[in-house]
Amino acid sequence: FEQAEYTISNQYLFKLQRYYPQSNLVNFLIGVNYFHLGKKAKVLNKVLNKLDEKSASRILLAMARDYSAHKNLKNLEADLKNLELNFPIYKEFKSYLLKQLER
């Protein structure tokens, strides 16, 4: 994806969010787009506070935020490896973050 595609994707997701405002999945996808757009503050302010504190969505986005901030990368890698996820889209984002950490 390129930046314009993430922006367009978020426009669609915002419309979807109007119908499903409490959806962890929709909010997670918005957060992932913000992450790829480099908008860490929006991940924190517009997405994380809408997610259940113990949800996989929130945990993954908080880890992505820490990765962007270069916080405790060794611990982050270990935590990601130990994080068990069932939902395929969460697994894919976890794999993406691990690949980024291996660079």
CB of 80 within 8 A of CB of 61?
A: no
Query: What would the pLDDT profile of 43-75 be if each residue is shown by its tens digit?
Result: 878 899 899 989 999 999 999 999 999 988 989
Query: What would the pLDDT profile of 12-25 be if each residue is shown by its tens digit?
Result: 999 999 999 999 99
Average pLDDT taken over every residue of the chain:
92
pTM of the model: 0.89
pLDDT value at residue 1: 65
CB of 72 within 8 A of CB of 52?
A: no
pLDDT value at residue 101: 93
Could you tell me the pLDDT band of residue 95, with boundaries at 50, 70 and 90? very high
**Where in the chain are the domains?**
3-102
